[in-house]
Chain A
Amino acid sequence: MSKQINVALIGNPNTGKTSVFNSLTGLNQKVGNYPGITVDKKEGICKLPRGVKAHIIDLPGTYSLNASSLDENVVIELLLNKNDKDFPDVAVVVTDVENLKRNLLLFTQIKDLEIPTILVINMSDRMAYKGISLDIEHLEERLKTKIALISTRKNTGIGELKELITNYKTLSTEPCMNATSIDKDYFESLQKAFPNQLLYKLWLVITQDVNFGKIDRNTIDAVSDFKTKSKTDLKRLQQKETIKRYQFINDTLKKGQTIDLKSAKDIRIKLDRLLTHKVWGYVIFAAILLLIFQAIYDWAQVPMDFIDSTFASFSEWAKTTLPEGAFSDLIAEGLIPGLGGIVIFIPQIAFLFLFISILEESGYMSRVVFLMDRVMRRFGLSGKSVVPLISGTACAIPAVMATRNIESWKERLITILVTPFMTCSARLPVYLIIIALVIPEGRFLGLSYQALTLMLLYLIGFGAAVGSAYLLSKVLKIKSKSFFVIEMPNYKLPLFKNVAITVIEKTKTFVFEAGKIILAISIILWFLASYGPGEQFNNAETIVQQANPNASETVLNDMIAEHKLEHSYIGIIGKTIEPVIQPLGYDWKIGIGLVTSFAAREVFVGTLATIYSVGSANELDDEDEAMSTIKGRMAEEVHSDGRKVFTFPSGISLLLFYAFAMQCMSTLAIVKRETNSWKWPVYQLVIMSGIAYFVALVAFQILK
């Protein structure tokens, strides 16, 4: 087999780089992680002419090789490490024909690394519209490269690009300008100290805060015959370099690009006048938010009901078909409902990502950031916190990762810390079942009490997020330069292919990540509930029989099962924490649910389903679907003195506990990775759960 060509796609954000990636690879792509960090690594395979194959890697968007975020670090780390297995044979720099000047800055830097480089000028379909014409020959000569003029929207030029990649060996590796002339003495002494290294590479190592493996800044600083520079001097030099590069680009474009402004049309000005308007801008944003919530909680209901009933009948089928026994119970009562609890979120998650990706693709999201920055700043957040907070209503995990483009560390950290307060979809099944149990039917102003309660819980979540953000901004003593810049890209009609791929990929990730945890928890739970230490568990039959010699067989079986559960491992755990949660109005069975919920909230319902079905051997005859059966069992559950377990006070207390508590291991793990320390997730866990306990306690004691 011939060797694959390694291709790296590089480019500024908003240049359609991902569209190029999708055009080249189609669905033949996968998203992974770079080792040790949570930056998405997108790779795919592309078939080239004459049977050649290319391995394409879509690097995170960056404005230059001067990295200021984790995502951007990935780009330089790869480009500077010749030994990396993904080190590109050819770099493909993607630019937008309307922003060529700015986009070329990165291109000139890549050229300085002496990697064969192809320049892709994307969105060529917009040229006539904007009155732009290009002298490709001149540009190719000046930039010492080959140019592919393409349009991913109209699907033109992709063939030429593939042809260029196939013939990458004929590309020039010569830099197109000499950036080191900004300080001759300095760079000469640097080259003298490291005669075998590429000068520009050394310069990047000196100016960046990233880890390059073999050579790092300290080894360079340690060389005696080379005079180092102070940080301020280095920064000044970087500025000079940027100016120098722009001079070269301006010179090049003077002849290479002509823009006839008279024939240029622009709907952007008109749209911006409306969408960023001081009043209408906010009205439109509010309307869009309403539409999103409508979709997530109303339109998604149809497929969700279908999934729900399918899994319920599947579970029923498994129960009747499989031979009786603990293992069958695990499958029918633990695994299938547990997995159903994940699959049921697919419509919501898909809708949410559909909207978010349309808003981002169209360029509207930047306008929201612009509109909201001032408001959010009042709470110690950034305009860019809006996207994570909205995403947080689906799942905190992608939301925390979406904070990466917030420049100020303090604002970013606060956003990460408060996002889990937003009502994520995992809280929803818990809310729904408790609300159905304890909130009476009835209407207020045409809205049902139950719907109002749910809405109130969303507001509580949002209030807790911004409220704690405000407190954190006062408490946290972090000096970080508050700096904010966001590109306002052109408005574009979202490409169906891009949106579809985003929705599929994100949903898939969510399902598999959550699915793994659910699966693990179900098995552990089943084990803990099916085994126990000592006499009480192992001789449950005899003990119960002796205590109740006159009970009928059904009642007896019921009592044995109950006795067993109480003395199983999980029962012991529940009993142990019972004194702590009793003031909140919970019993030891709810305690078990709380404990398992610390892995993931949605496990709660499944856990109670498992526990209550274990404790009730007299099979319910009615053909109710699984959910209402669980509900029925919960409604009948009583304390030892005959009082009902699920009452209005204990229900409200439970709802509030779930609204505030940090019960998601995956989120904690992501926060650990994103903040690079255990300190913040531990704070998050302790403080959020502390608030939850306190609020639930107060609520129960007042209502009781």
Chain B
Amino acid sequence: MTLAELKRGQQGVITDVSSIHIPLKLLEMGCLPGNSVELVQVAPFSDPMYLNINGSHLAIRKETAVHILIECVDE
């Protein structure tokens, strides 16, 4: 599944990042395969998404999130 499908409060692990669509800056902020990701909060229409990636808190738009593949971790 992609990061865009993650529900609020759910956690996942990043499995792949589409290198063409994702800017380097996002990778530098910790958005790398293997890192954990949690959806902290969403704005209305679930866009943008407020994430906790590997301890870094950042917000990205849904259109970016669809290019990040994750595996959902059920608790």
Judge whether A488 and B58 touch: CB under 8 Å: yes
Contact with A along B13-48 (1 / 0, CB 8 A): 000010110011111111011000000110111011
Judge whether A63 and B41 touch: CB under 8 Å: no
Cα A250 to Cα B47 with chains together (Å):
31
Judge whether A276 and B23 touch: CB under 8 Å: no
Cα A98 to Cα B26 with chains together (Å):
19
Which of A328-336, A390-398, A478-486 is the interface stretch?
A: A478-486
Contact with B along A563-590 (1 / 0, CB 8 A): 0000000000000000000000000000
Judge whether A64 and B28 touch: CB under 8 Å: yes
Given known A64-B28, A242-B24, contact A101–B43 (CB-CB < 8 A): no
Judge whether A99 and B58 touch: CB under 8 Å: no
Contact with A along B32-71 (1 / 0, CB 8 A): 1100000011011101101000111111110110000000
> Inside 8 A of A232's CB, which chain B residues have their CB?
20
> Inside 8 A of B29's CB, which chain A residues have their CB?
63, 102, 485, 487
Q: Measured between C-beta atoms, what is the minimum distance from A85 to chain B in Å?
A: 30
Which of A139-147, A233-241, A423-431, A636-644 is the interface stretch?
A: A233-241
Q: Measured between C-beta atoms, what is the minimum distance from A48 to chain B in Å?
A: 33
Judge whether B20 and A99 touch: CB under 8 Å: no
> Inside 8 A of B45's CB, which chain A residues have their CB?
374
Judge whether B30 and A374 touch: CB under 8 Å: no
Q: How many A-B contacts at CB < 8 Å in the complex?
A: 108
Closest chain A residue to B52, Cβ basis: A488
Given known A246-B32, A373-B43, A374-B44, contact A101–B55 (CB-CB < 8 A): yes
Judge whether B28 and A487 touch: CB under 8 Å: no
Cα A98 to Cα B56 with chains together (Å):
9
Judge whether A482 and B58 touch: CB under 8 Å: no
Q: A68 near B: Cβ within 8 Å? A: yes
Judge whether A66 and B55 touch: CB under 8 Å: no
Closest chain A residue to B47, Cβ basis: A374
Q: A272 near B: Cβ within 8 Å? A: yes
- Point out the residue from A235, A239, A371 that lies within 8 Å of B43, measured CB to CB: A371
Closest chain B residue to A382, Cβ basis: B61
Cα A98 to Cα B61 with chains together (Å):
25
> Inside 8 A of A63's CB, which chain B residues have their CB?
25, 28-29
> Inside 8 A of B28's CB, which chain A residues have their CB?
63-64, 66, 102, 105, 242
Judge whether B23 and A68 touch: CB under 8 Å: yes
Judge whether B43 and A278 touch: CB under 8 Å: yes
Cα A487 to Cα B17 with chains together (Å):
19
Judge whether B60 and A485 touch: CB under 8 Å: yes
In A479-511, the 8 Å CB interface with B consists of: 481-490
Q: Measured between C-beta atoms, what is the minimum distance from A147 to chain B in Å?
A: 20
Given known A101-B55, A373-B48, A483-B23, contact A242–B32 (CB-CB < 8 A): yes
Given known A101-B54, A370-B48, A374-B44, contact A485–B30 (CB-CB < 8 A): no
Q: Measured between C-beta atoms, what is the minimum distance from A609 to chain B in Å?
A: 49
Judge whether A485 and B59 touch: CB under 8 Å: yes
- Point out the residue from A238, A268, A487, A490 that lies within 8 Å of B24, measured CB to CB: A238
Cα A383 to Cα B43 with chains together (Å):
11
Judge whether A239 and B64 touch: CB under 8 Å: no
> Inside 8 A of B40's CB, which chain A residues have their CB?
269, 272, 488
- Point out the residue from B20, B32, B33, B64 that lies within 8 Å of A485, measured CB to CB: B64
Q: A27 near B: Cβ within 8 Å? A: no
Q: A455 near B: Cβ within 8 Å? A: no
Closest chain B residue to A64, Cβ basis: B28
Judge whether A276 and B43 touch: CB under 8 Å: yes
Cα A101 to Cα B58 with chains together (Å):
15
Q: Measured between C-beta atoms, what is the minimum distance from A647 to chain B in Å?
A: 47
Q: A243 near B: Cβ within 8 Å? A: yes
Contact with B along A213-246 (1 / 0, CB 8 A): 0000000000000000000100110110011001
Closest chain A residue to B54, Cβ basis: A101
Q: Measured between C-beta atoms, what is the minimum distance from B47 to chain A in Å?
A: 5
Cα A490 to Cα B56 with chains together (Å):
10
Which B positions have Cβ atoms within 8 angstroms of A? Answer: 17, 19-20, 23-30, 32-33, 40-41, 43-45, 47-48, 50, 54-61, 63-64
Which A positions have Cβ atoms within 8 angstroms of B? Answer: 63-64, 66, 68, 98-99, 101-102, 105, 232, 235-236, 238-239, 242-243, 246, 268-269, 272-273, 276, 278, 366, 369-371, 373-374, 383, 407, 481-490
8 contacts between A and B (CB under 8 A): A101-B55, A102-B56, A242-B28, A272-B50, A370-B43, A482-B63, A485-B26, A488-B57
Known: A235-B19, A370-B48, A485-B58. 5 other contacts (CB 8 A): A242-B28, A483-B23, A485-B29, A485-B60, A489-B57
